[in-house]
Amino acid sequence: MSATHPSQERLGPGNAPEPEAHTAPHHAVVDHRNLPVDPAPGQCLRTWLRDQGSTGVKKGCDGGDCGACTVLVDDEPVHSCLYPAHRIVGKNVITVQGLGTPESLHPVQENFLNAGGFQCGFCTAGMVCTVAGMSEADRKDLPRSLKGNICRCTGYRSIEDAVAGHTNLDPGHQGVGSSTGALAGPGVVTGTARYTMDLDTGELPSPMLYGALVHSDRAHARILAIDTEEALREPGVVKVLTHREAPMRRFSTAQHELLADDPADTRVLDDVVRYYGQRVAVVIAESQRAAERGVARVTVTYEDLPAVFDVERADAPDAPVIHPEDPPEATAGRSHPNVVAEVHHEIGDVDRALAESFVTSEETFHTQRLSHMALETHGCIAWQEPDGRYVLRTSTQVPFLVRRTLGQLFDLPRDRLRVYCERVGGGFGGKQEVLCEDIALLATMATGRPVRIELSRKETFTATTVRHPFRMTVRAGADRDGKLTALAVDVRANTGAYGNHGPGVLFHGVGESIAVYNAPNKRVDGLSLYTNTIPSGAFRGYGLSQMIFAVESTMSALAAKLGVSELSFRHNNIIRPGDPMLSVEDEPEEDLVIGSYGLDQCLRLTEDALRRGQQRWREKEAAGGAEDWGDEWRFGDGHAVAMIATAPPRGHIAHVEIELGPAATYRLKVGTAEFGNGTSTVHAQLAASRLNTTTDRIRLVQSDSDVVEHDTGAFGSTGTTIAGRANDHATKRLVGDLRSMAAAHLGVAPEAVAIRGDEAVTDGGSVALDRLRDACIERTGKPPAAHGYWDGSERSVAFNVHAFRVAVNMATGELRILQSVHAADAGVVMNPHQCRGQIEGGVAQAIGAALYEQVIVDENTGKAVTDIVRQYKAPNFADVPRTEVYFAKTSDELGPQGAKSMSESPFNPVAPALANAIHAATGVRLTRTPMTRDAIHAALAEAGRLLGGTYAGEAGTP
């Protein structure tokens, strides 16, 4: 355990550090400092603490719902966003930074570090403070005592382990295959790791300004006038910018390597609004408060235009055209101007095959809008350096693509722009966009001063992006032997008011979801359509989670009609090594291969786990310790499979550089961002394994457009598979160079040399790496270094299987998850604890999506009415079962050191596995998410299967 810090005793009633004596009235002790308390009228404690330099206190929700801002006031955990700052006068306040430091950790911080109890870490400061203030009784009732703290990344298992003091990490700083701790771990648990808004304003060239956005209050309208005079009279307001000051050029907020992947249909600020909540103007002021007061004084005059909110009506002949300004070449080939993308393809003869099938199934499915709800909201700080160069510090998954987009928008050459991020507080695809960076740069160019744009939680719900809602009709057939004869899907995806990601989500969604099954006859008809609603965007799974819900539900329906188990039906029809992966083309994609195959293992692993779970229940029942469920409950199992490509198509580029530093350390430069995806740790492990050293010798520099030539970004699960492969290339080259240098020094062949720790060794001698470094610098002026590159020209696939055992109350519709099992083909697992955490976090988020999360849009106005966290209902500790995670034993021939991707794929099979388990228990097939308790009750009632109805089900055997 670390050395004792004055505040390291467990905090709780009577255990807080003694406050210093107040030397003046209106003071408080904050993290052992005696500070005057003079907040602005109505100021909350969170913003006041951050003004004092307590950047470990995070902004997550603005409403006391997420707990990221939790601090201790006289020993008691409080949500500082709700706590008035003036109330701390005479009190003792401890933030996460006051509990301990990276060099001297509080025991709770040490426990979170040893358990690996975080991923992105944005919630961790508040989580640590909550746990530090717990009594022993609180620790025994975590569903109650952690109900005010949300984690969007981990799935809570590792947090529970941290509270219990369990260690999940391996000792030391090991390479591939070890559960090595995150490089930033000590900073995360102490609140000293810097996120986007944790910038010391002293680092800026001049005082910072603040921007606040004016949003449209109608769904489709032309702006006739914007009156800014009253806003400019507001004290502190410096400037108001509208479409008149913004570039005319159109772009896509979506960011991909190929610009043609997304329609250029968006302006920085437009004179036409196409959804309720679209940004209309930005008010720039000396303070955030002044900017927000200015927003309230901007008056916009509109001419209303006809709107369409229903995706089924969007391509009707009389539907209003949402983007009439699109040039003819952009709409060529579209069946309607509101169609942003479409696909129509048939392999074989589906109608004939269905007519000849022994059993068929046809059903229509719907999936809802979801919010990414990353706890760190979208934000950016922009400024101009004295040399004229513009710098943007932003919360993004794609800093290099942001630089490219801004350069094109504002006619700035590449060397005039730098875009970087530090640690990012969650992404899930939502930060693969330009949603605030363009406004920040526009504002700093207009004012000549640094400008900060930080979206509120309400703005992230109503004015950023959501998951695409899908309507899917699936038709499928099978013969008497249980072989698929045909599989057809008809899809409508609602891309909202702008087409960012619309084509990609549609094409990807109908891709691997169908290709995972062998069927001689397949048909796809898909449309992605504009509506006057909040834009849809990239979301974990990228269309697959929607489509897999429909396809996997259909596979289980066919199995039931055949009278066989859903597992045997899947075993009979899933793709095998050597089979073509066919969906929307007659030939498989040339760059997509099965680099390793573990789907059969995953099916067996989940089947065996459920069998063990039932055996445990029987043993418990025999011992008299089983719960008496009564006559109202029915029980069922459900499975679903998922396949996903390990990188996007059409190019994904990463450059990596590594350099030998002093004392046998290495400076590793990568472009990928860290937002809970774990790539920072994996990059260090990959390099350490190749260099036969430890991760504490790897100095990682990342997510900065100045660092390497280019990196497409961390999305599509590419942080390991693309950037990791570039890393592997670079480190192998450096090892080769060092062996050659050592061989020349030692007079042996390079193949006789091995790199070990701080030396290059042979059977007959060794040479220190520092000596080789000095010799290289003397000869070339530079230390030994190597470059690696990968372009994603070959792609593999990863597999996931999820299984549930559930209980359903046939009288009330209540659902309980009795067992949750996930099996993953991740290739060689780089970091078992971290990869398990990715799976658990994906499963937790997917359970929320399956059962209750939903962004609701008013069908009459198009307004997103879900605008606070408590309305949205993200899962908290009590909502998430402890999922059993198993890994198939494979090694991928394409991945770096055998690895595959595993950040988004675990999300995809969860909803259908739940739906299939509910069907097994009740006989009712739910076809719409979220599958709420009310929805289950209504489906039971409609089917006449409420308790006392016609359905008996399987009773009494959980």
Residue 514 confidence (pLDDT) above 60: yes
8 Å CB contact between 488 and 523: yes
Neighbours of 248 (CB within 10 A): 10
The rounded distance, in Å, linking the Cα atoms of 518 and 345 is 16
Contacts of residue 352, defined as CB under 8 A and 6 or more positions apart, other chains included, come to 521
At 952 the pLDDT is: 41
For the chain, the average pLDDT equals 95
Which token pair is 312?
A: 């089924």
Question: Between the CA of residue 423 and those of 394, 463, 703, 838, 914, what are the distances in Å?
Answer: 10, 23, 9, 17, 34
Burial label for 326, CB within 10 Å (0-12, 13-18, 19+), is buried
At 494 the pLDDT is: 98
Predicted confidence (pLDDT) per residue in 813-849, tens digit: 999 999 999 999 999 999 999 999 999 999 999 999 9
Closest CA to 515 of 554, 544, 492: 544
- Sequence-ordered strand ranges (E) for 434-504: 451-454, 470-478, 484-496
Q: Is 858 helix (H, G, I), strand (E, B) or coil?
A: coil
- Sequence-ordered strand ranges (E) for 141-278: 209-215, 221-227, 237-241, 272-273
The rounded distance, in Å, linking the Cα atoms of 514 and 552 is 10
Neighbours of 763 (CB within 10 A): 9
Residue 683 confidence (pLDDT) above 80: yes
Residue 151 confidence (pLDDT) above 60: yes
User: Does 202 or 955 have the greater pLDDT score?
Assistant: 202
Residue at token pair 């951050």: 50
Helices (H) and strands (E) in the chain, counts: 28, 31
Q: Is 662 helix (H, G, I), strand (E, B) or coil?
A: helix
Residue at token pair 């709780």: 12
Closest CA to 7 of 127, 138, 110, 101: 101
Residue 3 confidence (pLDDT) above 90: no
Residue 257 confidence (pLDDT) above 60: yes
Question: φ and ψ at 283, to 5 degrees?
Answer: -100, 130
The rounded distance, in Å, linking the Cα atoms of 166 and 157 is 11
Residue 17 confidence (pLDDT) above 70: no
Name which of 13-27, 253-267, 735-749, 858-872 the model is least confident about: 13-27
The rounded distance, in Å, linking the Cα atoms of 118 and 159 is 7
At 330 the pLDDT is: 76
Question: φ and ψ at 390, to 5 degrees?
Answer: -95, 140
What integer is the mean pLDDT of 527-534?
A: 98
- Is residue 832 reached through a cis peptide bond, with omega within 30 degrees of 0 on the bond before it? no
Angle at 575 between CA 574 and CA 576, to 5 degrees: 115
Predicted confidence (pLDDT) per residue in 69-86, tens digit: 999 999 999 999 999 999
The rounded distance, in Å, linking the Cα atoms of 557 and 360 is 9
At 954 the pLDDT is: 47
Neighbours of 203 (CB within 10 A): 10
| pTM score, whole prediction | 0.95
Predicted confidence (pLDDT) per residue in 564-617, tens digit: 999 999 999 999 999 999 999 999 998 999 999 999 999 999 999 999 999 999
Burial label for 747, CB within 10 Å (0-12, 13-18, 19+), is exposed
Which token pair is 916?
A: 């299939």
pLDDT bracket for residue 627 (50, 70, 90): confident
How crowded is the C-beta side of 159, counted as CA atoms within 13 Å?
A: 36
